Structure 1
Amino acid sequence: MCYFEQTRWACGYWKWGNFRQQCNKEYRTGETCGLKLVYDTSYLDGVCKICDQITKKDRRYRKMEQDIQRWQHEGNRRATIEKTTKDMADLNIQIGALYHSHQEKQRSIC
């Protein structure tokens, strides 16, 4: 039950920080017992890295959608549309994985 700093963002995402205090269960200097307790929590107003990545990928996905709509009206861009559609599917999988990891971290116990 050693104590660590914690950082928590407005979106609910959190991460462990630096080691702060050793508990009385561990007698070796510089070692921790393996159990983590919160010493102090720093709250940040901004978004976490994962939310930032999700936002960037979502903007890119929306841009690809607009491009496909424009290309369909222009015509004669079938190969470009197919490639962009595949890229959109890959991007959608990446966004889903990021969102899933963010939700798992929010649900996990500090």
Structure 2
Amino acid sequence: MCFYDANEMACQCWKWGHFRQHCAKEYRTGETCGMKLVMNRYKLAEKCKICTKIDTKERSIRKEEDRIRRWRKEHGRTASIAKAEEDIYAYQCDIQRLLHEREVKRGNLAW
């Protein structure tokens, strides 16, 4: 049960920070016991990598939807519309995978 900092980001995600103190269980110099306890919590202004990726994919979806709206007004763009709809579906699948990954990661630390 060695002590570490925990960094909480603006998106409510967290990550382990710097090692701070050994516990009484570990007697070897320079080694940790493997169990992590929070010594200090710090709030960070930026978002985590996963949430940044989700934001990027959501912007891509909005961009493709705008293109589809514009192309529907034109004629003969059915192939472009179909490709854009496939891209949107792929982005939505990626977002679902990232959301699941974020929930798993959030569940690893109980405040």
TM-score by length of 2: 0.89
Instruction: Kindly report structure 1 stretches of 4+ aligned residues shifted beyond 3 Å.
Output: none
Tell me the secondary structure at the aligned position of residue 96 of structure 1. helix
How far does residue 71 in structure 1 lie from its aligned partner after superposition?
0.8
Tell me if 1:15 matches 2:15.
yes
> Aligned pair count?
110
Tell me if 1:38 matches 2:38.
yes
Give the unaligned 5+ runs of structure 2: none
Give the unaligned 5+ runs of structure 1: none
CA distance in 1, matches of 2:75, 2:88: 20
RMSD, aligned α-carbons: 1.4
CA distance in 2, matches of 1:49, 1:108: 17
- Percent pairwise identity: 45
TM-score by length of 1: 0.90
CA distance in 2, matches of 1:79, 1:29: 65
Tell me the secondary structure at the aligned position of residue 11 of structure 1. coil
Tell me if 1:82 matches 2:82.
yes
How far does residue 20 in structure 1 lie from its aligned partner after superposition?
1.5
